Structure 1
Amino acid sequence: MTALSLILRDPLFRAIAAMAGLYGAVNACIYPYLSLIAVERVGISDATLALVLALASGAAVAASVLFGILADQIGNRRLIALMTVGATVIGTGLMVLAPLPGVMLIAHGVLIPMGTAIFGQIFALNNLATQNHPAQRDALQATVRAVVSAVFLLTLLFWTWGLGTGEHRGGFDVMAVYVTATLAAVLLFALIWRGWPRKGSEPWQDRPLGLNLRAALVELSRPAIAFRLLAMGAIGGLPMLYIILTPLIFSATPERQTSDVALMVGLVAGFEVPFMLALPRLQRALSRQTLIMGGALIYAGFVTLLALFPNGSWLWALPVLAGLGAAPILTLPIGYWQALMEGRPGTAAALMALQRLAGDLLAAASFALGTALGGYTTAALLGGGLAMAGAMALWIADRRV
Structure 2
Amino acid sequence: MTRAPTHSGPKTAQAKQPPPMTAATLILRDPLFRAIAAMAALYGVVNACIYPYLSLIAVERVGISDGTLAFVLAIASAAAVLASVLFGILADQIGNRRLIALMTVSATVLGTLLMVIAPLPGVMLLAHGLLIPMGTAIFGQIFALNNLATQNHPAQRDALQATVRAVVSAAFLLTLLFWTWGLGQGANRGGFDVMAVYASATGAAVLLVAIIWRGWPRPGREPWTDRPLGLNLRAALIELSRPANAFRLAALGAIGGLPMLYIILTPLIFSATPERSLSDVALMVGLVAGFEVPFMLALPRLQKRLSRQSLILGGALIYGGFVTLLALYPDGSWLWLLPVLAGLGAAPILTLPIGYWQDLMQGRPGTAAALMALQRLAGDLLSAASFALGTALGGYTSAALLGGGLAMLGAVALWLADRKAKPAG
Q: TM-score range with shorter-chain normalisation? A: over 0.9
Q: What CA distance in whole angstroms lies between the structure 2 residues aligned with 1:105 and 1:2?
A: 45
1:263 aligned onto 2:279? no
TM-score normalised to the size of structure 1? Answer: 1.00
Q: What CA distance in whole angstroms lies between the structure 1 residues aligned with 2:53 and 2:386?
A: 25
1:400 Cα shift?
Answer: 1.4
* Larger RCO, structure (CA 8 Å, separation 6 or more): 2
1:207-240 Cα deviation digits (max 9, x unpaired): 0001000110011000000000000000000000
1:21 aligned onto 2:47? no
What does residue 152 of structure 2 align with?
Answer: 132
Q: What CA distance in whole angstroms lies between the structure 2 residues aligned with 1:214 and 1:111?
A: 25
Q: What CA distance in whole angstroms lies between the structure 2 residues aligned with 1:362 and 1:292?
A: 18
Q: What CA distance in whole angstroms lies between the structure 2 residues aligned with 1:305 and 1:5?
A: 39
1:44-103 Cα deviation digits (max 9, x unpaired): 011110110001000000000000000000000000000000000000000000000000
Q: What CA distance in whole angstroms lies between the structure 1 residues aligned with 2:155 and 2:355?
A: 13
Q: What CA distance in whole angstroms lies between the structure 2 residues aligned with 1:262 and 1:175?
A: 20
What percentage of aligned pairs have identical amino acids? 88
What does residue 310 of structure 1 align with?
Answer: 330
1:181 aligned onto 2:192? no
1:279 Cα shift?
Answer: 0.4
1:240-274 Cα deviation digits (max 9, x unpaired): 00000000000000010111111100000000000
- Find 2:227's aligned residue among 200, 207, 210: 207
Report the AA paired with residue 229 of structure 1: L
What does residue 49 of structure 1 align with?
Answer: 69
Moved over 4 A (4+): none
What does residue 27 of structure 2 align with?
Answer: 7
Q: What CA distance in whole angstroms lies between the structure 1 residues aligned with 2:63 and 2:389?
A: 31
What does residue 348 of structure 1 align with?
Answer: 368
1:162 Cα shift?
Answer: 0.1
Query: Superposed, which structure 2 residues align to 1:55-204 within 5 Å?
Result: 55-204=75-224
1:2-25 Cα deviation digits (max 9, x unpaired): 111111010000000000000000
- Find 1:359's aligned residue among 354, 379, 384: 379
Q: What CA distance in whole angstroms lies between the structure 2 residues aligned with 1:214 and 1:86?
A: 27
Question: How many residues were matched structurally?
Answer: 401
Query: Superposed, which structure 2 residues align to 1:265-304 within 5 Å?
Result: 265-304=285-324
1:167 Cα shift?
Answer: 1.0
Q: What CA distance in whole angstroms lies between the structure 1 residues aligned with 2:31 and 2:283?
A: 35
What does residue 244 of structure 1 align with?
Answer: 264
RMSD value, Cα: 0.4
Q: What CA distance in whole angstroms lies between the structure 2 residues aligned with 1:346 and 1:396?
A: 27
TM-score normalised to the size of structure 2? Answer: 0.94
What does residue 38 of structure 1 align with?
Answer: 58
Q: What CA distance in whole angstroms lies between the structure 2 residues aligned with 1:374 and 1:47?
A: 25
Q: What CA distance in whole angstroms lies between the structure 1 residues aligned with 2:31 and 2:188?
A: 43
